[in-house]
């Protein structure tokens, strides 16, 4: 954990952290920094901020540190942290909320994770189901990891697990409309929240 100059933290920054906590359903004051979340995290080794530190920076109102962190994008959403927290802080949910806030702020600390999820949803939007072979191909192209898992793709082909044919949900047009409506509702909620914030100032 780095030392930070708290005098440089604005009210807006504190408010942004509180918004994230609210979205995550977390009361930041519940965390007493025991570190159990970090101890159990299977990916902590690879993270730039420990899960405990993400919560700490949120407590301190250091929004930029949190939004630029790779940690929420490395998080596999396994929920070990939340399930072991003696204070019932849903750290995993906080990771998700930070990641979404970071995404909406136009940041992409770990492009691969963002590309994967975008391609996944794009695939589902068009076909109603996820076609793993096309998801993997689209991911490789967009992330520039062209050869990743290519050997495994051949092994899957041999086993008849994947092929060239696409699976589709009959009502895929409905699914596409559903995805659009969901994302509209999401955008409307965020716009409303921004408006409320503007009203406070």
* Residue 9 vs 156, nearer CB to other proteins: 156
Q: Does 139 bind other proteins (CB under 8 A)?
A: yes
CB 40 within 8 A of CB 84: yes
Binding mask 51-70 for other proteins (x = CB under 8 A): --------------------
Shortest CB 6 distance to other proteins, Å: 30
Size of the site for other proteins (CB under 8 A): 62
Shortest CB 98 distance to other proteins, Å: 11
* Residue 10 vs 108, nearer CB to other proteins: 108
Q: Does 129 bind other proteins (CB under 8 A)?
A: yes
* Residue 28 vs 123, nearer CB to other proteins: 123
- Three-state DSSP string of the chain: CCCCCHHHCCHHHHHHHHHHHHHHCCCHHHCCCCCHHHHHCCCHHHCCCCHHHHHHHHHHCCHHHHHHCCHHHHCCCCCHHHHHCCCCCCHHHHHHHHHHHHHHCCCCCCHHHHHHHHHHHHHHHHHCCCCHHHHHHHHHHHHCCCCCCHHHHHHHHHCCCCCCCCCCCCCHHHHHHHHHHHHHHHHHHHHHHHHHHHHHC
Binding site for other proteins (CB under 8 A): 23, 42-43, 45-46, 74, 76-80, 82-83, 90, 92, 96, 99-100, 110, 112-113, 115-118, 120-121, 124, 128-133, 136, 139, 143, 148-149, 152, 155-156, 159-162, 167, 169-172, 174-175, 177-179, 181-183, 185-186, 189
């Amino acid at each position: 954990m780095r030392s930070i100059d708290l005098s440089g933290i604005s009210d807006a920054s504190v408010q942004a952290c509180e918004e994230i906590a609210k979205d995550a359903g977390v009361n930041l004051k519940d965390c007493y920094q025991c570190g159990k979340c970090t101890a159990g995290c299977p990916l902590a080794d690879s993270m730039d901020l420990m899960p405990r530190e993400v919560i700490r920076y949120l407590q301190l109102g250091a929004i930029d540190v949190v939004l630029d962190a790779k940690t929420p994008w490395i998080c596999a959403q396994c929920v070990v942290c939340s399930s072991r927290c003696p204070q019932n802080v849903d750290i995993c949910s906080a990771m998700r909320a930070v990641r979404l806030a970071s995404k909406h702020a136009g940041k992409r600390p770990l492009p691969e994770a963002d590309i994967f999820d975008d391609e996944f949803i794009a695939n589902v939007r068009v076909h109603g189901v996820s076609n793993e072979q096309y998801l993997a191909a689209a991911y490789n192209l967009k992330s520039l990891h062209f050869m990743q898992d290519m050997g495994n793709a051949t092994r899957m082909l041999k086993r008849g697990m994947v092929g060239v044919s696409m699976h589709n949900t009959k009502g895929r047009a409905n699914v596409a409309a559903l995805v659009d409506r969901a994302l509209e509702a999401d955008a409307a909620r965020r716009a409303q929240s921004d408006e409320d914030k503007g009203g406070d100032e």
